Amino acid sequence: MNPPLLSLEEAQARLIALASPLSIERVDVPGTLGRYLAEPLRARRTQPAAHVSAMDGYAVRADDLAGPWHVVGESAAGHPFHSPVNPGEAVRISTGAIVPSGAQAVIVQEDVTRSDGSVSLTGSGPNPCGRHIRGEGSDFRREAELLPAGTRIGPAQIALAIAAGHRHLAVRRSPRIAIIDSGDELSADPETCALHQVPASNGAMIAALAASLPVQVSRIGPVADSREAIIAAFDAVEDADVIVTSGGASVGDHDLIRPALEQWGARLDFWRIAIKPGKPLLVAERDGRLIVGLPGNPVSAMVTSYLFLLPLLRGLLGAARPLPVAIDQRLAGPLPATGDRREFIRARFEAGGVSAVSTQDSGALGALAMTDLLVDRPAGSPALAAGESVRAYLLQNGGLS
Ligand SMILES: Nc1nc2c(c(=O)[nH]1)N[C@H]1C(S)=C(S)[C@@H](COP(=O)(O)OP(=O)(O)OC[C@H]3O[C@@H](n4cnc5c(N)ncnc54)[C@H](O)[C@@H]3O)O[C@H]1N2
Ligand code: MOO
């Protein structure tokens, strides 16, 4: 008899527990895009390193705000003015330039008139005093922890790391993932496909989803529905950190992924989750390599990749929060009640909210390609009307820019 279905939370927790972060390497900062900090990011310098002007104008003393002032020099970005500013004096200053000693105020140039080497106030002046000055360390100070370990490195984090004085960052190495298409009905060539065949589309779809993360992908298949062929495929990708199959995960006579894994010596960690689509998902382990057996139906493969494979890859990359984050959305149309499995309804953005796509069939690629988000509906949920609020996950599915 089959064991009871696992809940989504239980299954995700088991998966994340298997995802020990990979070894640490040091990578030049721009090359870390999409990876996760393996150590907290600490500032190696203070920014701004000195008080700097936030505007183009004139630096004057705080006890000398009435003017007029004699312009005694210039502080430009990269070219500071080295003498103190005395009463009656102003220093021409540009945005980002160091405020010279003695000066505590910057008057924007729109508030003064300049003639014959002096400036006089014609506007409101530096109210309050100190405005238009970015104080030393107002962004960050040397030794401060700027970001915790496990933070994803995007454009702003790259800029911050460089500004904080880093040439390299410690990150986890990229996981190697091998994606296997399997099934006797699959054709490698979508242009020459007989009636009894379907083009092998899952492998390319899963690789495209994984491409949102810094992973190294290899693909093999289509592999025939025989234990020997599946085991040979596993052997061929033995150096992968994660092996992903799609299809053959269910209970049919030709669903051979589970028996092949057992024969290969892998330990089945869990199989079958109480979600729709995606019930037959399985996860196994052999010698530290993880095998994710996705269901063959394309929609089920996409949904389980999003809920399991991507979190697993994030876990290996050292993410602090490997699981996707749901957002609240308003329904533009009604939703039916759900049964005894938690459902992930394929939906898209429309005027007034989100709306379920035309068919929820887990084989329907046409509807999947229209899907922007997955509405998360717990088991036993009542029917909902337009205007009600739902939790949803934004799918990385192409339709949105
Ligand atoms: N008696 C039962 N039958 C089924 C059950 C069940 O509990 N009892 N579960 C159903 C559910 S739910 C799912 S999901 C499917 C998935 O089963 P498999 O993982 O074994 O997938 P296959 O049968 O091999 O294929 C299903 C479908 O997907 C197509 N496919 C497979 N691989 C690819 C690929 N690489 N590219 C494109 N399309 C692919 C395949 O041709 C089939 O049409 O099982 C239900 N059955
Ligand atoms: O769970 Mo299956 O994934 O409904 O199609």
DSSP for 33-59, please give it. Answer: TT-BBSS-EE-SS-BSSS-EESSSEEE
* 371 in contact with ligand 1, CB cutoff 6 A: no
Return the best residue to mutate from 6, 202, 275, 300 for the ligand 2 pocket (most ligand atoms within 8 A of CB): 300
Return the best residue to mutate from 193, 275, 297 for the ligand 1 pocket (most ligand atoms within 8 A of CB): 297
pLDDT reported for residue 125: 74
Residue 218: strand, helix, or coil = strand
Strand pairing category for 198-199 and 186-187: parallel
pLDDT reported for residue 181: 96
Tokens of 280: 């037959």
pLDDT averaged per 10 residues, the chain (length 401): 85 96 98 98 98 96 93 97 97 98 95 94 78 94 98 98 98 98 95 94 97 96 95 94 93 88 96 96 96 97 97 98 97 96 96 94 96 97 97 89 65
Nearest by Cα to 161 from 30, 314, 320: 30
E strands, 280-340, in order: 282-286, 289-294, 327-330
Q: Burial-class residue 43 by CB neighbours within 10 Å (0-12, 13-18, 19+).
A: buried
CB 100 within 8 A of CB 85: yes
**Which run of H or of E encompasses 299?**
helix 298-304
The structural domains of the chain, ordered by start, are: 8-22+173-316 (3.40.980.10), 27-45+143-172 (3.90.105.10), 52-134 (2.170.190.11), 327-394 (2.40.340.10)
Nearest by Cα to 69 from 96, 43, 90, 51: 90
Q: How far is the CA of 252 from the centre of ligand 1 (A)?
A: 9
E strands, 45-87, in order: 52-53, 57-60, 69-75
- Give the position, in ligand 1's atom list, of the atom nearest the Cα of 297: 28
Q: How far is the CA of 261 from the centre of ligand 2 (A)?
A: 21
Phi, psi dihedral angles at 260 (to 5 degrees): -65, -40
- Give the position, in ligand 2's atom list, of the atom nearest the Cα of 341: 1
* 246 in contact with ligand 2, CB cutoff 6 A: no
- Residue owning the nearest CA to atom 25 of ligand 1: 296
Question: CA–CA separation, 339 vs 380, rounded Å?
Answer: 5
* 315 in contact with ligand 2, CB cutoff 6 A: no
* 246 in contact with ligand 1, CB cutoff 6 A: yes
pLDDT reported for residue 123: 86
* 181 in contact with ligand 1, CB cutoff 6 A: yes
pLDDT reported for residue 386: 96
pLDDT reported for residue 57: 96
- Residue owning the nearest CA to atom 44 of ligand 1: 250
* 100 in contact with ligand 1, CB cutoff 6 A: no
